[in-house]
Chains A and B, each alone.
Chain A
Amino acid sequence: MKISGNWLKDYVHFSLPPHELADKLTHAGLVVAGIQLVEDDFCLDIEVTSNRPDCLGIIGIAREIAALTGGALQLPEVNQPDENKKTSETISVTVEEPLLCPRYTAQVIKEVTIKSSPEWMQKRLISIGLRPVNNIADITNYVMMETGQPLHAFDLDKLSGNKVVVRKAEAGEEFIAINGAQRALFHDMLIIADEKNPIAIAGIMGGKESEVSESTRNIFLECAQFESRQVRRTSKAVGIASDSSYRFERGTDPEGICRASHRAIQLIQDLAGGKVSGNFLDIKTRIRKPKIVTLRINKLNQVLGTNLNADRASGILKQLQFTILAGSNHFLDVEIPSFREEIYREIDLIEEVGRIYGYNNIPTNTSIRVRGNARSKREIIEDTVRNFFTGTGFYEVKTFSIVDTSPLQAINLWSNTEGFDIANPLRQEESRLRTSLLPSLIKVKKHNMNHGTERIKIFEIAKVYIKTDDRLPQEKTCLSFLDCTDFFTGKGIIEALLSHLGIPSKPDWTGYSEKRLFQEGRAARILMDETTIGYLGDANRKLECKTSIVLCEFDMDFLVKETPFTIKYNTVIPYPPAFRDLGLIVKEETTWASIEKCIASTQTSFLAKIRFLDIYRGKQVPEGKKSVSLNLCFQAHDRTLKSEDIDTAVEHMLKSLYKNLGAELRKL
């Protein structure tokens, strides 16, 4: 909302320079976003929050300044006739929807001369960014800016049947607005109509047909209150917003209508030579009872942490034009003015007092009561995982959880369902909640590749969204990583992570196929007690990432759940271990897991660890077989082992390997 300094001075006296005034308003909650100096005037751009419709008129801002500076408020004198009538000889008005239009006033003014408005008025309108049109339009705008109450003038002679009706639109009715917008109307829209057609969308915009023009002689001046939700809905539905709809949506002063109307009537008489014809119509369907709220002084100080007395509080409220009906040292009974309808509770009054007293004058209390808290397991584990990955050279990334609907993004490793679509997306590129983090990581890899960093190591901890029978999806936290290495390096990272976290059991790895993401035959599903806890695989080369990459998506919730809280210490054995290397010739299809399992099943004494060394296929190894070499570590708790101990153990082991897997010792 733009405010002219000179205009403001009509209603309140102040001598502050513009930037000091701006500072005061900002500290009272009316943020001045900009100050513009123009000739002998200045213009403040004020951000009015949605709870302060009273400040959408210059008088409202003047009231605030009066309260902040102690300056007196001087409002323009307006002649308001005592008695308002419901009929007029010239035209009849019917309000069919009293709930949506609680008050409707109108006045017929005849023999107006349409011309430019006087220079002073034009200058004021221009200073706050409005374009002067003609004297009638300018007056309605001027009064709206002054009071915050929208008004509209119709060309009386263009209305058919001497009849105005406030009613719901009929489906199929058409309307052309002043700004040229043509709209089909629907039944739930409130309109102003003459005998035949809509002449305005209530509170939003008047019609082209009945617009005041150079040839206008007689006018019908409307000043009304329209229900804010109705205006908001309709404005959205027809896609038309105006200064008028902006104010009705936020709520206008129900008691300010007559005043605003009479102010305009007076100006029209003065500046356009119009003559009032017939009665001033006032159709009021709601009797407003003044609201009275009690403010307890101890509650005020309790909430703010201040030590204000009743006099100070009542002083502030009076300056803001609240009426104090009764009071003592302990309480005030406060009548709320009609232009502050949003105030209806004690807490609202406390805010008013605190706001004008100044938040920066409220003390700062740095000693608050102590309350212990323990870090949750999730916090600790996520932290450990992040440190593990950054420590091994990975960068953490954050990517969008709203993605496009391409086949790659449709990958869902955790369920067969599709992702959630957004009903009102901004763009097709961001229209669905993701079901996997991996496509986003590939995108990051490509971005870096195209910007000169080919090899990257990245990880992300974020949610994927899985459909359930509930109204809300399951939000599963995943840990995903991408590395420019291969399957086994990736597997090593997982194994190292599990061991780092102290998760004792080892997962099972089974073959997995997801052709969009992984290379066929080089991907695995990771299982723990038959529950899937992750996927790992070499990326499909069709993803075009230049370097080979390994992708992994892991169940973060599993890690949080399974990580033990404490690590059990094992004695460090003082005796040296002994090592033996074995080269085994086995069938190509014999897996490492089966060799490991077979060795474990022999329950070989002193065997502490089996370590895989490598696989060899070549001249010395027959077709269809491979040589697997491994390293065995033997360890006794109570002595240094002798070679005989180990020889016997190895012999026993070899027998079992031959019997079960047909494995033979590789001869040199």
Chain B
Amino acid sequence: MFFIFEKATMTEQIEDIRKNLQEKIKGAKTLKEAEQIKIHFLGRNGVISHLMKQIPLLPVDQRSLFGKTVNSLKAEITETIEKLFANCIHESAQKGRQELFDITLPGKCPGIGKKHPLTQTIEDIKEVFSRLGFDVAYGPEVELEYYNFEALNIPSDHPSRTDFDTFYIKEDVLLRSQTSTVQIRTMEKCPPPIRIIAPGVVYRPDTVDARHSFMFHQVEGLLVDEDVSFADLKGVLEQFIKTYFGHDVQMRFRPSFFPFTEPSAEVDISCSICKGKGCSVCSYSGWVEILGAGMVDPNVFKAVRYDEEKYAGFAFGMGVERITMLKYGIDDIRLFYENDIRFLSQF
């Protein structure tokens, strides 16, 4: 059905056209002549068009093959004529001015995309802690008040609650103001030993400015085991800080207060901008605060029914935006949520 045709007629006709084309091309030198040849073969009343018009006159079973042959001839002629055009252009250029193949013109770039800088920071953090055997855990963002406060040893009416100002949905349902909620949910589900980090979004009703955002990211860490000490906490955090901020960075631990840890500490690193000499980023102290940490308060173990004599643990938490800002010298937290491509493309 497809491949029946009169070979002789077809081949002869095609060969004639080819010869004709070659002859005409030999004489052509100018763009005008090339244009005429193009019209002769490919124009509306040209050779190819003429052949096409014959198709309906052929027996049905030959039409397809004939059409295909004509099409491939058309492609061949088109290519030949294009080459002719190129030659003519080149010649006229040779006569007129020299055309430069300018290798310094910019390249053509395929579109590339980037992960959000906050995602990159979270991935870096996960990478460091996964080497130390920490799992990644998640928890809900809309939380029961119990997990955000009571279980973390923050009773209602306690002045420390102001440190964790909170958006409420209902009486006892809120948007978590810290990822520490995941600690409790994990410990409720699993017996010790525990080794997790919990990255995620938290919310606090802060008026938005260059330093504050009502939504931001935290990574919380928790390790519970037998014989865990403050010295281990220091060791784990030192490994993180050296990996993330560099080996020449200095760190210091200061006593502080968090209701869910005892003893509690804040950790500073030497300011990477001024190398500890003092600048506006570190308020001229040479140190910048990067995370809060401490030994898990026995009251938290009580809330999840862990044996507080047998087990000890440490927890730490850090602001992802803050760490990213410090690392790259970003001065406005709002940039992370504007998603201007000119910002995102830099990381």
Kindly identify, within residues 342 to 382 of chain A, every residue whose CB is under 8 Å from any CB belonging to chain B: 345, 347-348, 350-351, 354-355, 359-360, 362-373, 375-376, 378-379
Kindly identify, within residues 299 to 352 of chain A, every residue whose CB is under 8 Å from any CB belonging to chain B: 302-306, 345, 347-348, 350-351
Kindly identify, within residues 197 to 228 of chain B, every residue whose CB is under 8 Å from any CB belonging to chain A: 201, 203, 205-207, 214-215, 223, 225, 227
Alpha-carbon distance A368/B221, docked complex (angstroms): 15
Which of the segments B29-37, B76-84, B129-137 contacts the partner chain? B129-137
CB-CB under 8 A from B2, the residues of chain A are: 647
Q: Is the CB of A28 within 8 A of B231?
A: no
Q: Is the CB of A430 within 8 A of B214?
A: yes
Q: Does B247 contact A (CB under 8 A)?
A: no
Known: A347-B262, A447-B340, A668-B55. A401 touches B113 (CB 8 A): no
Which of the segments A212-220, A263-271, A450-458 contacts the partner chain? A450-458
B166: nearest residue on chain A (CB-CB)? A424
Known: A354-B263, A465-B142. A368 touches B160 (CB 8 A): no
Alpha-carbon distance A359/B253, docked complex (angstroms): 6
From B111, B206, B257, A457 is in contact (CB under 8 Å) with B111
A306: nearest residue on chain B (CB-CB)? B231
Q: Does A250 contact B (CB under 8 A)?
A: yes
Q: Is the CB of B230 within 8 A of A367?
A: no
Q: Is the CB of B193 within 8 A of A302?
A: no
Separation in Å of the A464 CB from the closest CB of chain B?
A: 11
Q: Is the CB of B255 within 8 A of A475?
A: no
Q: Does B243 contact A (CB under 8 A)?
A: no
Which of the segments B10-18, B89-97, B114-122, B269-277 contacts the partner chain? B114-122
B173: nearest residue on chain A (CB-CB)? A471
Interface string of B225-261 (1 = CB under 8 A from A): 1010111101110110000000000001111110000
Q: Does B288 contact A (CB under 8 A)?
A: no
Which of the segments A147-155, A254-262, A386-394, A571-579 contacts the partner chain? A386-394
Q: Is the CB of B256 within 8 A of A348?
A: no
Alpha-carbon distance A16/B336, docked complex (angstroms): 44
Separation in Å of the B126 CB from the closest CB of chain A?
A: 8
Q: How many residues of chain A have a CB within 8 Å of chain B?
A: 90
CB-CB under 8 A from B1, the residues of chain A are: 647, 651
Known: A395-B114, A448-B341. A368 touches B236 (CB 8 A): yes
Alpha-carbon distance A444/B339, docked complex (angstroms): 6
CB-CB under 8 A from A473, the residues of chain B are: 142
Q: Is the CB of B144 within 8 A of A471?
A: yes
Separation in Å of the A500 CB from the closest CB of chain B?
A: 15
Q: Is the CB of B207 within 8 A of A451?
A: no
B299: nearest residue on chain A (CB-CB)? A345
Interface string of B20-48 (1 = CB under 8 A from A): 00000000000000000000000000000
Q: Is the CB of A362 within 8 A of B256?
A: no
Known: A368-B232, A386-B119, A400-B337. A453 touches B342 (CB 8 A): yes
Known: A233-B157, A350-B263, A668-B67. A394 touches B113 (CB 8 A): yes
Q: Does A641 contact B (CB under 8 A)?
A: no
Separation in Å of the A23 CB from the closest CB of chain B?
A: 10
Max chain B C-beta neighbours (<10 A), residue from A305, A306, A372, A465: A305
From A304, A345, A398, B339 is in contact (CB under 8 Å) with A398
Q: Is the CB of B339 within 8 A of A423?
A: no
Which of the segments A49-57, A183-191, A537-545, A599-607 contacts the partner chain? A49-57
A-B pairs with beta carbons under 8 Å apart, 8 shown: A29-B254, A232-B159, A347-B263, A386-B119, A398-B119, A422-B175, A643-B3, A667-B60
B interface, CB within 8 angstroms of A: 1-3, 55, 60, 63-64, 67-68, 110-116, 118-119, 123, 126, 130, 132-136, 138, 140-144, 157-160, 162-163, 167-170, 172-173, 175, 193, 195, 201, 203, 205-207, 214-215, 223, 225, 227, 229-232, 234-236, 238-239, 252-257, 262-266, 283, 295, 297-298, 312, 336-342, 344-345
The 4 closest A-B pairs by CB, nearest first: A305-B231, A393-B111, A29-B255, A305-B229
